[in-house]
Amino acid sequence: MNGSITFDGVWKKFQRGERHDSLRDLLPSIARNLFRRRDAMQLDRNEFWILRDVTFQVEPGQALGIIGRNGAGKSTTLKLLTRILRPTRGTTRITGRVGALIEIAAGFHPDLTGRENVYLQGAILGMKRHDIDRNLDRIVDFAELGEFMDTPVKRYSSGMNARLGFSIAAHLQPDVLLIDEVLAVGDLKFQQRCYDKLREFRNEGVSIAFVSHNMQAIASLCDRALLLRPGSTPILGAVSEVVAQYASGAAAADDPRITLEEAQLTHTPTGAKIEQDITPGTPLTLTVRATAHVDLPRCCLQLWVHRSDGLSIFDGVSFTDGLAPVAVRAGQAIEASVSFTPNLLKGMYTIGLSLVDVDRGWKNLLLPSVASFIVTDNHRWGGCAELNPTYRLRSSTRAAETPVEEPTALRSA
């Protein structure tokens, strides 16, 4: 059976905590809440919307990345799907067996051992004991907790809890997987194994909803993304488009010395705007227009490119590549462009520009997150750089050795 996820017109509100200093204040408050009738869509002064009219569907074999800043409602969305919470308005529906990892050790009984919690979680999912027995060794091997499986989980570290929780969710034959950012507490090796497992499930037809701040993981795993924005309509679309909007949210310069007016990333030969994923080695040009509010003598251009997981890909200054500094006066317009070839492998990348003084007489002026792009790659096994290798491999038969003749004097002897 293949599972699916439906989120239809969902609204969810929360209430800010009320403080009652005495029983005299608390009792009337409880009475008002019991007997008051009002429209559920109306907000009291202590209430606020965490989700506003969110709609999406995840079919078998699809993976949806849910992104947004802290407090945007990402974890709330998953809790609504697992019915830990109920929507104020709208409907949520999941078909099939659900494997969920939303909070570290959620559903674990702290006094039970790791092994006992595996059977507890399996029973909650409706699995027979013999089915759990059949999967137990794989759960233990994946979590790498063999020597700790008979230890109460209250003695586990957060990373050990996450490893066991993911392994249980992934090996009890789920049709739907709901995964929150809790994978971030594991070590890098385990995180990579988790992402490989998620790709495997996606290929097998499992529906996945994945919450993460790691845009690299979102770009490599998901085919669509949902950007939750507090106070605004959410954005649902292709990963490249949604992640680019999320990454460029801080594109405006905060530095009062300059106003950034336009930044555009285009395909170098054609001038066409980059609006979709690119392949490794696609030549790009970044063009920027701004207005300076102070004098910027001896001005040079600095380009840097970061991968979404923070890895610095490139950092260079125009002066070292032969472009002479320019004197910029207050009120003048600045036009800058840089062309480059990103020989990069699959991932999401952010481009940053800075104006710098070659003599360091004034502080660097940063234009953060000017643009971003996503590289698609389907035939490399890993890494971050495209090296365009040329391979040579052949087999050959070694020539038979020629016998060495003895000297004449020795033969005559």
- What pLDDT shows up at residue 394? 92
Q: Work out the percent of the chain whose per-residue pLDDT is above 90.
A: 37
List, for residues 63-112, the tens digit of each pLDDT value: 999 998 888 889 899 999 988 889 999 999 999 888 877 765 566 888 99
What is the greatest pairwise CA distance in the chain?
Answer: 128
Instruction: Please check whether residue 381 lies inside any domain of the structure.
Output: no
Q: Is the pLDDT of residue 4 over 50?
A: yes
- What pLDDT shows up at residue 64? 95
Assess whether 119 and 241 both reside in one domain. yes
Number of H helices, E strands in the chain: 9, 17
pTM, 2 dp? 0.66
Instruction: Please check whether residue 395 lies inside any domain of the structure.
Output: no
Assess whether 127 and 149 both reside in one domain. yes
Instruction: Please check whether residue 212 lies inside any domain of the structure.
Output: yes
The DSSP code sequence of 132-197 is: HHHHHHHHHHHHT-GGGTTSBGGGS-HHHHHHHHHHHHHHS--SEEEE-GGGGGS-HHHHHHHHHH
Q: Is the pLDDT of residue 328 over 90?
A: yes
Domain residues for 297? 251-375
List, for residues 33-61, the tens digit of each pLDDT value: 555 555 567 777 778 888 999 999 999 99
Give the full edge-to-edge strand order of the sheet including 47-58: 47-58, 4-15, 89-95
Token code pair at residue 268 = 């170098």
The DSSP code sequence of 308-367 is: TTS-EEEEEEGGGGTPPPEEE-TT-EEEEEEEE---B-SEEEEEEEEEEETT--S--EEE
Assess whether 162 and 277 both reside in one domain. no
Assess whether 195 and 218 both reside in one domain. yes
Of 74, 44, 16, 6, give the one whose Cα is nearest residue 234: 74
* Chosen domain end from 245, 272, 291: 245
* Chosen domain end from 202, 218, 245: 245
Assess whether 11 and 157 both reside in one domain. yes
Mean pLDDT of the chain: 83
Strand partners, 178: 100, 209
For residue 258, give the 3-state DSSP assignment: strand
The enclosing domain of 11 has a CATH number of: 3.40.50.300
Assess whether 231 and 297 both reside in one domain. no
Are the CB atoms for 370 and 266 separated by under 8 Å?
no
> H-type helices in 204-315, by residue range?
215-221, 239-247
List, for residues 346-363, the tens digit of each pLDDT value: 888 888 889 999 999 999
Q: Is the pLDDT of residue 413 over 60?
A: no
Q: Is the pLDDT of residue 1 over 70?
A: no
Assess whether 203 and 345 both reside in one domain. no
Cβ atoms within 10 Å, residue 371: 22
